Amino acid sequence: MGKVIDYLEKYYKDTDYNCAEAVFSAALEAWELQMPPEVMRVMAGFGGGMGCGSVCGAVTGGCGALGCKFMEGVGGHTSPQLMKMTKEFVEKVQQEFGSENCSHLKPQFHTKEERCYRTICEVAALLDQVYEQEQHLE
């Protein structure tokens, strides 16, 4: 098992994936999760803060991956571990960068050459922290 950040280049720079798809795919590979290819389609609309600068796609991709890994029962509301980790992840992003929104993060990290690669690396590093912390508790 690797870290999410270790797989980002493969999914962001070497494909046409957006930020949400890249973080989601990188997490699935890092955490050795197998999903049907159709699952990736779910993340397509979350890039660019859902296309309007709202919640950063890297954040939504990370939340989606956490759901794939930690959801128990019939839904997120029946999975306290998942909800705890999702909250910790989003709060870490808010604390580190002042917001979880694309419209706030993009100006901090976006470049013409690399697009949002640095943004997704920063967010994925926080996702890795949340994941590793949970693994040490088990």
Tens digits of residue pLDDT in 112-134: 999 999 999 999 999 999 999 98
CB 117 within 8 A of CB 13: yes
Encode pLDDT of 13-47 as tens digits. Answer: 999 999 999 999 999 999 999 999 899 899 999 99
Going by pLDDT thresholds of 50, 70 and 90, the confidence category of residue 136 is: confident
pLDDT of residue 73: 82
* Alpha-carbon gap, residue 50 to 60, rounded angstroms: 9
| Spatial distance between the Cα atoms of 78 and 55, rounded to a whole number of angstroms | 24
Which H, E and C letters describe 28-52, residue by residue?
HHHCCCCCCCHHHHHHHHHHHHHHH
Angle at 5 between CA 115 and CA 2, to 5 degrees: 155
